[in-house]
Amino acid sequence: MSQDSLLVNEKGARTGKLVITSSLLKGPVPKPWLTQPARYSWVPRYLFLLICSLGLLGGAFQIYFGLKSVPKLGNVCLVLDEQFDGDSLDTSIWTREVALDGWGNGEFEWSTDSGNNSRVEDGMLYIVPTLTEDVIGHDNVFDGYNLTLNDCTSGNSTTCWVYSNATAGTIINPVQSARLSTRLSRSVKYGRIEVRARLPRGDWLWPAIWMMPKDSMYGPWPRSGEIDIIESRGNGPSYPAQGSDWLSSTLHWGPAPLLDGYWRTTGWWNDKHLTFDEGFHTYTLEWDDKFL
Ligand SMILES: *[C@@H]1O[C@H](CO)[C@@H](O)[C@H](O)[C@H]1NC(C)=O
Ligand SMILES: *[C@@H]1O[C@H](CO)[C@@H](O)[C@H](O)[C@H]1NC(C)=O
Ligand SMILES: *[C@@H]1O[C@H](CO)[C@@H](O)[C@H](O)[C@H]1NC(C)=O
Ligand SMILES: *[C@@H]1O[C@H](CO)[C@@H](O)[C@H](O)[C@H]1NC(C)=O
C-alpha cells in the first residue's frame, strides 16, 4: 500500500490522490528591472572609469617626472669625431700603449703597437688578442727569455722588461693585445662621450672603455679619479660572475688605493635578451659639474 491511500478528503473519504495548491502567480508577472535600470547602476561604471583614469594619470605623472629628473647637458661642441674611415690608425689621435705593467688590474697582456693587435679596416677599429708564443715561441714564454720593450710607453720603466725564469716562476705576458688612448691628443672635462662598439666573446677577455685623468692634478690613482664608462667580460652568459650579458660602470676616487670609494659609485646592467658581443651598441657618458 502506498502512502497516498492514507490521504482523505473533507468528507473523510479516502482519495488516494495528493492535492497540492499551486503557488504560481496567475497572469503577467511584473519585471520592473527590465524596463527601468536600477537607481545607482551608474556608480560602479563611473567608479571603474575613475580608477582607470587615476591609474593612467598616475602613470603619466610618473613618466613625466621620471623624464624630468634625468639631467640634461647644455650645448656641447665637438672635440673628436673618429669614424675610423682611414686606411690605418690615425696616430696623431691615438696612442698605442706598449707595456707589460698589468695596468693596475693584474692583466697578463702585453699591450703592443702591432697591427696584429689593433688595426683599422672597413671603417672600424679592431682590437685583437693573440698569443705571445706565436711571436717568441712557446718555450721562451716560460723560461730563459729576456723581453725588453724599446718603445715602452709605461711611466714606470721597471715594467718595461720581463725575464722568463721557470725556477722563479716568472713568465712573459702570454697574451698580446692593445690598449689605445687619446691621452696625448684629446681630452674633455664635461660633455658627452659616445662609443659605438661590439664587445668580444671569449674567456679571459675584459673589454673596457675607460677615462683616465690626463693630468693627475690631485695625485696618483685614485686621487685624480677614473671614469669607467663600461666594462664587461667575454665569458658567455652562463658565467656566474657576470658574463657578456652584463655591463658595469664605475667611478674610482678617494685618497688612497685602499680607500677607493668605487663601491658607492658602481652599477650593473644585465640584459635579459642579448649579449653585448652579438652586435654594436652605443655606450654613452654624459657629464657636467652636477652629474655623471
Ligand atoms: C704578427 O703575427 C704574425 C703571425 O703570428 C707574426 O709572425 C708576426 O711576428 C706578428 N707581428 C708582430 C709585430 O708581432
Ligand atoms: C733583461 O734586460 C734588462 C733591460 O734590457 C736588463 O736590465 C736585465 O738585467 C736583463 N735581465 C736578464 C736576466 O738578463
Ligand atoms: C714600478 O713598478 C714596480 C714593479 O711593478 C713597482 O715595484 C714599483 O713600485 C713601481 N714604481 C712606481 C714609481 O710606481
Ligand atoms: C731564475 O730564478 C732563480 C730562483 O729565483 C735564480 O736563482 C736564478 O738566478 C734565475 N735565473 C736567472 C737567469 O736570472
Distance 147 CA to ligand 2 centre (A): 8
Distance 231 CA to ligand 1 centre (A): 28
Q: Is the CB of 169 under 6 A from ligand 4?
A: no
Q: Is the CB of 168 under 6 A from ligand 4?
A: yes
Q: What is the mean pLDDT of each run of 10 residues along the chain (292 residues)?
A: 48 63 77 80 91 97 92 89 95 96 89 96 96 97 95 88 95 96 94 96 95 94 96 95 96 96 96 95 94 90
Distance 140 CA to ligand 4 centre (A): 15
Using the CB atoms, write b or e for 69-92: b if 16+ within 10 Å.
eeeeeeeeeeeeeeebeeeebeee
Mutation probe of ligand 4 site: the residue of 163, 167, 171, 172 with most atoms within 8 A of C-beta: 167
CA–CA gap between residue 109 and residue 26 (Å, rounded): 101
Q: Do residues 206 and 247 make contact, with C-beta atoms less than 8 angstroms apart? A: no
Cis? peptide before 222, omega within 30° of 0: yes
First to last CA, the chain: 100
Number of other CB atoms surrounding residue 9 within 10 Å: 11
Number of other CB atoms surrounding residue 275 within 10 Å: 18
| Residues in Cβ contact with 191 at an 8 Å cutoff, skipping those fewer than 6 apart | 73, 76, 79, 286, 287, 288
Q: Is the CB of 282 under 6 A from ligand 4?
A: no
Looking from the CA of residue 134, the nearest atom of ligand 1 is 5
Q: Is-catalytic flag, 107? A: no
Q: Is-catalytic flag, 226? A: yes
Number of other CB atoms surrounding residue 101 within 10 Å: 20
CA–CA gap between residue 205 and residue 199 (Å, rounded): 10
Cell 730563459 found at: 144
Q: Do residues 14 and 7 make contact, with C-beta atoms less than 8 angstroms apart? A: yes
Q: Is the CB of 170 under 6 A from ligand 2?
A: no
CA–CA gap between residue 181 and residue 178 (Å, rounded): 10
Q: Is the CB of 167 under 6 A from ligand 4?
A: yes
Q: What CATH number does the domain located at 187-292 have?
A: 2.60.120.200
| Residues in Cβ contact with 68 at an 8 Å cutoff, skipping those fewer than 6 apart | none
Q: Is the CB of 159 under 6 A from ligand 3?
A: yes
Distance 116 CA to ligand 1 centre (A): 6
CA–CA gap between residue 207 and residue 234 (Å, rounded): 7
